[in-house]
């Protein structure tokens, strides 16, 4: 995972849309009563709770996240549910899951082979892996504006997230014994409310982009990025920024007939 400092309360405040949009990924998961489901990269745990409601008392859910701040927030908000602070590349299931679910988390992980390998190992045969993540080109205008300003200031700008094409990610899943049942990419322009919406988004999500900068220089870069993006991404009438989100959504099944090439 990248070295972002998470603040769960601020995350829920500035990025509540992550959970709101995630409801339709839960629909794609289609959790059924009695199932055991892992929420990988559960953040503040609100979607874990939605899944837990669907599987009911005869089912089971576990939310995992690499951030102890997120897990603390999830436990406080949902004290009846199970959450563990563990990295997606390292977790081990005591008992097989019927499904692994992940919303807006996979793109934070550097070692995608390790995640796919861990998910495959955690699933029962025929178990499903249902996820949404950033696709190639996700938030491209924001990343390009930050990187351009960092380069002008002499910094070697980082490329912190994994935003694959369908082909790249489906191939990776197949390498780890999954049969990909569906994989789609779509644009999802995402509103960031208020004149400070972009600034807040960068404060919550941008740590890894700004890693080498002091607080003062980071603030100066953010101001330049706002100026660069305002003409195309800010509507002064509604006081709304629009981030150019692009999503990759997939359903894959652990396929026992496929040979693993790990």
Would you say 61 or 102 has its CB closer to ligand BEZ? Answer: 102
Binding mask 104-133 for ligand BEZ (x = CB under 6 A): x-----------------------------
By CB under 6 A, what part of segment 132-151 binds ligand BEZ? 134, 138-139
State the nearest-atom distance from the C-beta of 61 to ligand BEZ, in Å: 22
Residue 95 buriedness (CB in 10 A; 0-12 / 13-18 / 19+) = exposed
By CB under 6 A, what part of segment 154-173 binds ligand BEZ? 161
By CB under 6 A, what part of segment 193-232 binds ligand BEZ? 205
Would you say 54 or 202 has its CB closer to ligand BEZ? Answer: 202
Would you say 26 or 104 has its CB closer to ligand BEZ? Answer: 104
Phi and psi angles of residue 66, each rounded to the nearest 5 degrees, phi first: -80, -15
Would you say 124 or 208 has its CB closer to ligand BEZ? Answer: 208
State the nearest-atom distance from the C-beta of 21 to ligand BEZ, in Å: 9
DSSP readout, 89-118?
Answer: TT---SS-EEEEEEES-GGG-S-HHHHHHH
State the nearest-atom distance from the C-beta of 96 to ligand BEZ, in Å: 28
Query: By rule CB under 6 A, what count of residues binds ligand BEZ?
Result: 7
By CB under 6 A, what part of segment 35-54 binds ligand BEZ? none
3-state secondary structure of 234: strand
- The answer to whether 74 and 43 are in contact (CB under 8 A) is yes
CA–CA gap between residue 45 and residue 75 (Å, rounded):
8
Q: Is 67 near ligand BEZ (CB under 6 A)?
A: no
Q: Which helix H or strand E contains 61, and what residues bound it?
A: strand 60-65
* Cβ contacts of 45 within 8 Å, gap of 6 or more: 39, 63, 70, 73, 74, 75, 77, 78, 81, 83
Handedness of CA 112, 114, 115, 119 (dihedral sign): positive
Q: Is 103 near ligand BEZ (CB under 6 A)?
A: no
- The answer to whether 21 and 188 are in contact (CB under 8 A) is yes
State the nearest-atom distance from the C-beta of 116 to ligand BEZ, in Å: 19
Q: Is 245 near ligand BEZ (CB under 6 A)?
A: yes
Task: Tell me the residue number closest to ligand BEZ, measured at CB.
Answer: 134
- Return residues touching ligand BEZ (CB under 6 A): 104, 134, 138-139, 161, 205, 245
């Amino acid at each position: 995972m990248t070295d972002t400092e998470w603040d769960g309360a601020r995350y829920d405040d500035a990025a509540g849309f992550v959970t709101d949009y995630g409801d339709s990924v839960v629909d794609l998961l289609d959790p059924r009563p009695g199932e055991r489901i892992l929420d990988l990269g559960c953040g503040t745990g609100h979607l874990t709770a939605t899944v837990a409601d669907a599987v009911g008392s005869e089912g089971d859910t576990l939310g995992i996240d690499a951030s102890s701040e997120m897990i603390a927030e999830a436990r406080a908000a949902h004290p009846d549910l199970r959450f563990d602070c563990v990295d997606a590349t390292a977790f081990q299931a005591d008992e097989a899951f019927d499904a692994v679910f992940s919303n807006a988390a996979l793109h934070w992980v550097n070692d995608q082979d390790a995640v796919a390998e861990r998910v495959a190992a955690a699933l029962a045969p025929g178990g499903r892996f249902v996820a949404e993540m950033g696709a190639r080109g996700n938030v491209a205008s924001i990343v390009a504006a930050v990187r351009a300003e960092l380069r002008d200031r002499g910094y070697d700008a980082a490329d912190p997230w994994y935003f694959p094409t369908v082909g790249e990610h489906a191939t990776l899943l197949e390498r780890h014994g999954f049969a990909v049942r569906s994989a789609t990419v779509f644009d999802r322009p995402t509103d960031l409310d208020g004149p400070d919406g972009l600034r807040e988004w960068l404060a919550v999500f941008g740590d890894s982009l700004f890693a080498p900068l002091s607080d003062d220089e980071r603030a100066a870069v953010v101001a330049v990025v706002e100026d660069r993006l305002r003409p195309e991404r800010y509507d002064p009438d509604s006081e709304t920024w629009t981030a150019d989100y692009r999503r990759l959504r997939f359903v894959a099944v652990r396929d026992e007939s496929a040979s693993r090439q790990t």
